[in-house]
Amino acid sequence: MANPRLRSITWWRKWSRKDWAIAAVGFTLIVFLCTLISNSMIDQPFDHDHAIAADLVDLTLLHNAKDKGALCLDGSSPGYHFQKGFGSGSNNWLLHIEGGGWCNTIASCSLRKLTPLGSSKYMERRVSFSGILSPYSSQNPDFFSWNKVKIRYCDGASFAGNPKSELKNGTKLFFRGQLIWEALMDELLSLGLSSAKQALLSGCSAGGLATLIHCDDFRQLLPKDATIKCLADAGFFLNEKDVHGKQTMRSFYDDVFHLQGVEGSLHKDCVSRMEPSKCLFPQEIVKNIKTPVFLVHPAYDFWQIQHILIPDASDHNWRNCRLNIHDCNPNQIEILQGFRNSLLKALNEFQKNAEGGIFIDSCFVHCQTWMDHTWHSPQSPRINNKTIAESVGDWFFNRNIVKQIDCPYPCNPTCYNMNFT
């Protein structure tokens, strides 16, 4: 099989600028990040021993997926990886939803179904569990012994697509995100989730958005006396204009919304009072969530900077800055600080939520919970001398109120800053 990164690069050349701007990177985000890490293309060293030593967990394909209509974009069965808990964690559950962008056109979804983000045919059969999924207390102090599930992402709409939209596309694409979510929950409930004492639903990037969309649904499935909370990592996508004054992200979400029919998965109060596609933005979603939520987010999220704020890769003035924050000139840094201010403004109401938690660091990175070295290690990003894992644990177990907001770049020397040059 051809190298997936090279294959993806070939696809990028065939896409329109609009599709390339967001969807293409989503397809290869996970593979690309892993490649960057393995090539040491970050500012601080990565400990490969942890990744190599991590337990490998088998892929399980969803049982009776076709009977339930719960299908990936290409019609294959969705999958997940399950590692059984032990000891004090035997009755506790941690679910983590994989990220990987979205597809907003028939063309981009048709290409996506030829990747692990659209078909279980291409998914790795065994994956290592690290970061928030790690089974080792040194890497994951509060959740290491819990039942842990990595949910694979293969629908292209953050588990929110509706099959009614399939009638319009005239192709063999399956928009079944909502049905996949429901079928997965049914299967996990039968494996013991139904008797959980404590549970945390988490996700990264598009998986973080899915976590917010389904957070209250998840809570409703579990015992009323259980402690249930949600964690979204790098999933707080902003409804902001780019540097050229265009609504790139809003337009893209509008396309996803209408192509895959996601309205039925969004809060009814939201879709009834504003343009429905705006309800895909987390700033609107969190207003209606009743379950306690923790937001992990970099103030200088490289994905958002490269695809919301500066989406045009051909912009020569921004080329170096969007690849490496250290190469930004003072005027560009000022604009990035404005983007950070927009994030904090969007979070203003959420910060007043007594049950909510926040960890906003000043790093040029994207997802931080699924890798050991950013989740919890001697080299992890810290705010007030707390790692992300320690902060999330303090919040989940009510040890402390956690509202950690970092000072502006470049104040935090513990940051991992990605370097794409």
CB 241 within 8 A of CB 247: yes
CB neighbour list of residue 152: distance below 8 Å, 6 or more residues apart: 59, 78, 79, 80, 81, 98, 116, 120, 123
| Whole-number pLDDT of residue 11 | 34
CB 330 within 8 A of CB 267: no
Q: Does position 45 have pLDDT exceeding 70, yes or no?
A: no
Task: Provide the H-helix boundaries in 72-228.
Answer: 106-112, 166-169, 177-190, 206-221
96-124 confidence digits (pLDDT tens)? 999 999 999 999 999 999 999 999 999 99
Lowest mean pLDDT among 33-42, 149-158, 259-268, 389-398: 33-42
| Whole-number pLDDT of residue 85 | 98
Closest CA to 79 of 113, 138, 124, 35: 124
In Å, how far from its chain's centre is CA 279? 17
Percent of the chain with pLDDT over 70: 86
Q: Does position 42 have pLDDT exceeding 90, yes or no?
A: no
Q: Is 326 a catalytic residue?
A: no
Q: Given 8, 205, 265, 277, which residue is catalytic?
A: 205
Q: Is 83 helix (H, G, I), strand (E, B) or coil?
A: strand
All domains of the chain, ordered by start, with CATH?
Answer: 4-405 (3.40.50)
| Whole-number pLDDT of residue 289 | 97
Q: Return the higher-pLDDT residue of 34 and 151.
A: 151
Q: Given 50, 81, 366, 373, which residue is catalytic?
A: 366
CB neighbour list of residue 420: distance below 8 Å, 6 or more residues apart: 36, 41, 302, 323, 324
334-388 confidence digits (pLDDT tens)? 999 999 999 999 999 999 999 999 999 999 999 999 999 999 999 999 999 999 9
| Whole-number pLDDT of residue 39 | 31
Q: Does position 397 have pLDDT exceeding 60, yes or no?
A: yes
Q: Does position 165 have pLDDT exceeding 60, yes or no?
A: yes
Average pLDDT value for residue range 225-245 = 97
Q: Six-digit token pair at 299? A: 């103030």
State how far the Cα of 134 lies from the Cα of 148, in Å rounded to an integer: 9
Closest CA to 266 of 256, 258, 277: 277
Q: Return the higher-pLDDT residue of 303 and 45.
A: 303
Q: Does position 67 have pLDDT exceeding 70, yes or no?
A: yes
| Whole-number pLDDT of residue 231 | 98
Q: Is 205 a catalytic residue?
A: yes
Q: Six-digit token pair at 183? A: 């079928």
Q: Is 214 a catalytic residue?
A: no
pLDDT grade, residue 168 (50/70/90)?
low
pLDDT grade, residue 3 (50/70/90)?
very low
pLDDT grade, residue 169 (50/70/90)?
low
CB 414 within 8 A of CB 380: yes
Q: Does position 275 have pLDDT exceeding 60, yes or no?
A: yes
Percent of the chain with pLDDT over 90: 83
CB 336 within 8 A of CB 325: yes
Average pLDDT value for residue range 288-310 = 97
Q: Does position 18 have pLDDT exceeding 70, yes or no?
A: no
118-142 confidence digits (pLDDT tens)? 999 999 999 999 999 999 999 999 9
Over the chain, what is the mean pLDDT? 88
| Whole-number pLDDT of residue 228 | 98
Average pLDDT value for residue range 53-66 = 87
Q: Given 19, 142, 301, 406, which residue is catalytic?
A: 301
pLDDT grade, residue 66 (50/70/90)?
very high
* Side-chain half-sphere CA neighbours of 159 within 13 A: 29
State how far the Cα of 377 lies from the Cα of 136, in Å rounded to an integer: 12
Q: Is pTM beyond 0.95 here?
A: no
Q: Does position 13 have pLDDT exceeding 70, yes or no?
A: no
